[in-house]
Amino acid sequence: LKYAVDPDLKKIIPLRNLRKSQMPSSLELVLPRKSNPNPISPSKYTQIICWTSTFDSLERKKATHSKNRRQRPGTSLPVKSRARSANGFRPNKTRPAKRPCSLAGIKTYAPYIFTNLGKEGHEGPANARGYLGTTLEGQVTLNAGIQMWQVPYTGTYIIESRGAAGANGTFLNISGNGFTGTLKRGGLGAKISGKFWLTHGTLLKILVGQRGMIGTYGCRRGHIHKQLFFRAGGGGGGSFVTYVNNTPLVIAGGGGGGGSSCCGACVGIADKSDGDSGQLGVLGSRCNSTVGNGGMLCSNEKGYTTEAGSGAGLLGNGSSSLKWSIRPARCFVDGGTGGTAGGRPSGDGGFGGGGGHGYAHGGGGGGYTGGGVWANDTSGIAGGGGSFNHGFDKKSGYGDALEHGLVKIVFLG
């Protein structure tokens, strides 16, 4: 009797219930014919074999699963079916006592985990040395920070994409104690996954979003004996998985950057708001951006100029005030670089279309649609980027605070 344990190890399935493509090509393996050369994950299938006797090696090689007739070894003469073991083999004349079933794990497919490769800021990684010793060693090439990867097997894959978080808005008290605290938090990145049928040799483009940056400098309040530096956060980059022609498979939106104090006309040190998290739908939050394009800048005060940059989308760049956020975030098809911030409160958006913060306002998150930035003189909110999922068996949620993005691909067979 042979069984397989399902991927979640929740139940045992008889082999006869598995699809034909999942049936073993030998009696030792219960998995698809090809396996990853570097398995590191738990078994997808686990074999349980109940031995009832010892078997002759020749019989083991030539045994079939025919119900009534088998070929006599070395001849073309059929022989009558005789008593068989639970594994379908004819036992030797002596049948020893049954031994307990054994539960043996076997090699299976390891996940492919794409990271930011240690890079931070508005530009993507320049080399793939971070994949040495992993399943991606020698399989990834970089094109201006975008990772190019070829599908190794034909079959079903789970693709999970996580957008990067926006940076926190912070303040630094330099009056002697060096205390650093958080004003408003950056939004979380979205986490999106689905199943896809992919063909061997298909080339995919993968952009792993990078978290927004905190301003290098901030506005200053207080006299020489008590100085506080207030710094808003850049928007997090979205994480993208597309075909080489930019047709999207999965995109997870990045979080908006947290705000800081206005430092001038504003009162208090926490006037601006937390950044929005990456959105689970296709639209970014704030300012009514259009699907697939960059986020917008908006205000409820006539003539007010929003100082931060919005996030970029798949097809459209972000917006920038050109006062504090001096370069807008670029869309995925235009390279996906984050927006850059100028002047004193410089805090760039993360690679993946995150918007640069401006003065006291956080930058919008990148994604399928960029996050907008709504602001006035006393408050403001940076929107999260939108997400996209073209797969089946879809799932969605949120990542962790202050984290870079991630793309995880698992071959199911």
pLDDT at position 196 is 98
> Looking at per-residue confidence, does 20 or 397 come out higher?
397
pLDDT at position 73 is 54
* 129: phi then psi, degrees, rounded to nearest 5: -65, -25
62-66, 358-362, 373-377: the lowest-pLDDT one: 62-66
How many C-beta neighbours within 10 Å does residue 106 have? 17
For residue range 2-23, list pLDDT tens digits in order: 455 544 444 455 555 555 555 4
Return the closest-CA partner of residue 114 out of 250, 301, 313.
250
Question: DSSP of 18-56, one letter per residue?
Answer: S-GGGS-SSSS--S-S---SS--SPPSSEEEE---S---
Averaged pLDDT, 125-142: 95
252-256, 282-286, 336-340, 401-405: the lowest-pLDDT one: 401-405
Averaged pLDDT, 112-136: 95
102-116, 135-149, 271-285, 396-410: the lowest-pLDDT one: 102-116
> Looking at per-residue confidence, does 228 or 335 come out higher?
335
For residue range 172-209, list pLDDT tens digits in order: 665 545 545 667 889 999 999 999 999 999 999 999 99
pLDDT at position 218 is 54
- Beta strand extents in 331-391 (DSSP E only): 373-375, 380-382, 388-389
Averaged pLDDT, 355-384: 89
For residue range 93-104, list pLDDT tens digits in order: 444 444 444 434
Q: What is the pTM of this model?
A: 0.72
* 126: phi then psi, degrees, rounded to nearest 5: -105, -15
pLDDT at position 242 is 98
Return the closest-CA partner of residue 391 out of 370, 405, 412, 406.
412
> 368 and 292 in contact (C-beta within 8 Å)?
yes
Question: DSSP of 75-113, one letter per residue?
Answer: SS-EEE-----TTSPPP-SS-PPPPPPEEEE---PPPEE
For residue range 370-390, list pLDDT tens digits in order: 999 998 877 789 999 999 999
pLDDT at position 67 is 41
Q: What whole-number distance in Å separates Cα of residue 341 and Cα of residue 344?
A: 9
> Which value, to the nearest 10 degrees, does the dihedral of the CA atoms of residues 257, 263, 267, 271 take?
0
> 327 and 320 in contact (C-beta within 8 Å)?
yes
Highest mean pLDDT, choosing among 48-62, 77-91, 346-360: 346-360
> 163 and 236 in contact (C-beta within 8 Å)?
yes
Look over the chain and give the mean of its residue pLDDT values, rounded to a whole number.
76
* Cα-Cα end-to-end distance for the chain: 23
**pLDDT exceeds cutoff 50 at 230:** yes
Q: What whole-number distance in Å separates Cα of residue 128 and Cα of residue 147?
A: 9
pLDDT at position 17 is 55
> 352 and 163 in contact (C-beta within 8 Å)?
yes
How is residue 45 written in tokens?
């299938």
> With b meaning 16 or more CB within 10 Å and e meaning fewer, what string describes 274-313?
bbbbbbbbbbbbbbebebbbbbbbbbeeeeeebbbbbbbb
